[in-house]
């Protein structure tokens, strides 16, 4: 029987991050968001708090925690702002985690300490302009061995933390050959100052406006053969493992956004009046907020369950996909309802619920779209295994 109560350590972490989000992030993040500016000062403070090292061992300067601890931090940050939350999620769950999981001793020793401190960020380059869901089918980036180096050619799309001034490394997935007629995919570490590697200007985005998202280009980009991460040809399997964890982390972020909508609305309906009463007097409003709170609760339980299973070493593919689907649905529904409750103010960028509305949509897209989550869940249930296409 699993207990959903937080341990004392986890509760202390949750409270610390909640206070940080309230005191440090909330007062200034709206300005960064409007300017489309990466919040270096906030990221540096998150680093000092130890957030970038949460799931990593102390020998690398980490906090010795686990994915559950990271998810708690993401949840509390996203209750206030998703740009800083996704910066942390992408840097840790997608950026540093593959090096910790699959890197050799030299690679870990070289990269993990600076990532754990948050002084430098790593990015994960999987998606390509030609397709994100259909990997490996849509992959075109190649890497070939030449005189003891990998030479990489291709491009990656929508890469979080791809081009900040503190990004020091990108893990790129590339086709390194063919095996039994199939693309052989490997993961290769590309330091950001490698000649032939370049980043495009920031995309203009609907949401996550204070996070960094770039297209990356590799043109005859040459790195030592030793920059192969894990085994040659295991890149796709590694990426599936990383994405299971990433989905739980995104679920935590989405649950945080869903809960942030509740926080904002509970406060607002006690202040705003219409027809002679506070908004909270009206049952139509009460019911909306009750539904929002129930969705946020279900979303929290979904990621708690998936993260706890992962930490216990149990298979989580189905639970991770269900958590991401449940939580991103909750985030979208709550953001829509919160904006409605705020009326015209909900459409004004200076109010957090407007940011929540703009930030919620991408949760149904990144790290596997909702359709991809449904495919995974159906496959795990054995649905369609015997179906034939006509
Ligand atoms: C802000 C942002 C940050 C991101 N950060 C990163 C990052 O750091 N690293 C990285 O590698 N990627 C990143 N991504 C990419 C993201 O993971 C992809 O956008 C996502 O996986 C979807 O891929 P796509 O955009 O190519 O859509 P497509 O794969 O082209 O899908 C288009 C639509 O078709 C649907 N679809 C596709 N196949 C099927 C099918 N068989 N059945 C039913 N429906 C289907 C999809 O669900 C979707 O609705 C980021 C994206 C965004 C927007």
Three-state DSSP state, 51: helix
For ligand 1, atom 25: residue with the closest CA:
132
Asked whether the predicted pLDDT for residue 136 surpasses 90, the reply is: no
**Residues forming a β-bridge with 56:** none
**Is ligand 1 within 6 A of the CB of residue 239?**
no
**Residues forming a β-bridge with 153:** 142
CA of 344 to the centre of ligand 1 (A): 32
Cis peptide before 223 (omega within 30 of 0): no
Where does the pLDDT of residue 31 fall: very low under 50, low under 70, confident under 90, or very high at 90 and above?
Answer: very high
pLDDT, residue 390, reads 47
List the structure tokens of 21.
């989000």
Strand-strand pairing, 121-125 and 167-179: parallel
Three-state DSSP state, 252: helix
Rg from Cα positions in the chain: 21
The Cβ of residue 362 has, within 10 Å, a number of other Cβ atoms equal to: 22
**Is ligand 1 within 6 A of the CB of residue 133?**
yes
Mean pLDDT over the full length of the chain: 96
**Is ligand 1 within 6 A of the CB of residue 365?**
yes
pLDDT, residue 386, reads 62
CA of 372 to the centre of ligand 1 (A): 9
CA atoms within 13 A on the CB side of 178: 5
**Is ligand 1 within 6 A of the CB of residue 367?**
yes
pLDDT tens profile 331-378:
999 999 999 999 999 999 999 999 999 999 999 999 999 999 999 999
Sole residue written with tokens 């009463």: 277
pLDDT, residue 108, reads 98
pTM: 0.97
Residue 89 annotated among the catalytic residues of the structure: no
pLDDT, residue 2, reads 53
Q: For the residues of 79-145, what is the DSSP string, one character each?
A: TT-HHHHHHHHIIIIIIIHHHHHH--HHHHHHHHHHHHHTSSEEEEE--BTTBSSSTTTT---EEEE
- Torsion, Cα of 24, 26, 30, 33 (10° steps): 70
């Amino acid at each position: 029987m699993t207990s959903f109560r937080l341990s004392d350590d986890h509760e202390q972490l949750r409270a610390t991050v909640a206070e940080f989000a309230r005191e440090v992030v909330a007062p200034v993040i709206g300005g960064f968001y409007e300017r489309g500016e990466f919040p270096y000062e906030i990221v540096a403070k998150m680093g000092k708090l130890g957030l970038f090292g949460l799931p990593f061992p102390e020998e690398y300067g980490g906090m010795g925690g686990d994915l559950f601890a990271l998810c708690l931090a993401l949840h509390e940050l996203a209750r206030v702002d998703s740009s800083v939350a996704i910066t942390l999620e992408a840097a840790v769950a997608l950026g540093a985690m593959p090096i910790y999981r699959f890197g050799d001793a030299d690679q870990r020793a070289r990269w993990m300490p600076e990532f754990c401190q948050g002084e430098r960020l790593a990015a994960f380059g999987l998606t390509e302009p030609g397709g994100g869901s259909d990997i490996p089918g849509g992959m075109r980036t190649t890497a070939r061995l030449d005189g003891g180096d990998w030479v990489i050619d291709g491009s990656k799309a929508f890469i979080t933390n791809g081009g900040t001034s503190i990004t020091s490394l990108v893990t790129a997935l590339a086709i390194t050959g063919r095996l039994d007629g199939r693309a052989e995919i490997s993961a290769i570490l590309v330091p950001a100052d490698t000649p032939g590697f370049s980043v495009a200007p920031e995309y203009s985005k609907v949401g996550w406006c204070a996070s960094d998202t770039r297209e990356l280009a590799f043109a005859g980009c040459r790195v030592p053969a030793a920059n192969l991460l894990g085994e040659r040809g295991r890149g796709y399997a590694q990426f599936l493992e990383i994405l299971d964890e990433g989905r739980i982390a995104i679920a935590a972020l989405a649950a945080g956004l869903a809960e942030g909508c509740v926080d904002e609305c509970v406060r607002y309906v006690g202040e705003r009046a219409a027809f002679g009463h506070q908004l909270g007097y009206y049952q139509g409003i009460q019911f909306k907020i009750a539904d929002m709170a129930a969705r946020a609760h279900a979303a929290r339980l979904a990621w708690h369950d998936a993260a706890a299973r992962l930490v216990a070493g149990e298979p989580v593919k189905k639970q991770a996909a269900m958590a991401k689907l449940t939580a991103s649905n909750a985030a979208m529904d709550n953001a829509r309802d919160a904006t409605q409750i705020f009326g015209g103010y909900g459409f004004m960028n200076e109010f957090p619920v407007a940011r929540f509305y703009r930030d919620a949509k991408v949760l149904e897209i990144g790290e596997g779209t909702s359709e991809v989550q449904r495919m995974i869940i159906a496959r795990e249930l054995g649905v369609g295994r015997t179906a034939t296409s006509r």
